[in-house]
């Protein structure tokens, strides 16, 4: 896969993190941003971590259901192993850990 310009990666990755933060806020979840790491804190004290991996131009998602690495292709973040979309896997992780439905825009 051809690397995109780093400025494009940061623009797309930051837009996705902002969308996750906004969806979490609408769903009543607490979020914490520390540099390139976004933590979603569910009401039951479970956590889901999303972080940027700039050298690899990836988004990483870590939850109890597993870890996933995503690369952007045609404006979509897709799992590097399965091809599944970031939004679907994030939602599955949140609900599997007892969280609400996130409506990402």
What is the per-residue pLDDT across 72-101, written as a single tens digit (0 to 9) for each? 998 899 999 999 999 999 999 999 999 999
User: pLDDT category, 1, cuts 50, 70, 90?
Assistant: low
**pLDDT higher than 60, residue 63:** yes
Edge-first strand listing for the sheet containing 76-79? 30-34, 37-41, 47-53, 58-63, 66-73, 76-79
- Domain residues of the chain, as ranges? 6-96
- Is 2's pLDDT higher than 70? no
pLDDT digits (tens, 9 = 90+) for 34-60: 999 999 999 999 999 999 999 999 999
Q: What are phi and psi of 46, to 5 degrees?
A: -70, 155
pLDDT for the residue numbered 9 = 96
Quick check: 16 pLDDT over 70? yes
CATH-assigned architecture of domain 6-96 = 2-Layer Sandwich (3.30)
Note the pTM of the prediction, 2 decimals. 0.91
pLDDT higher than threshold 90 for residue 104: no
DSSP letter assigned to residue 55: G
């Amino acid at each position: 896969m051809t690397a995109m310009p780093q400025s494009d990666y940061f623009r797309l990755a930051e837009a996705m993190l902002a969308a996750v933060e906004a969806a979490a806020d609408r769903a009543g979840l607490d979020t914490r941003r520390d540099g390139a790491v976004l933590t979603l804190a569910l009401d039951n004290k479970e956590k889901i971590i999303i972080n940027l991996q700039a050298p690899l131009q990836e988004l990483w998602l870590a939850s109890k259901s597993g870890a996933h690495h995503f690369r952007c292709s045609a404006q979509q973040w897709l799992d590097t192993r399965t091809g599944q979309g970031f939004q679907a896997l994030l939602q599955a992780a949140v609900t599997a850990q007892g969280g609400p439905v996130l409506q990402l825009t």
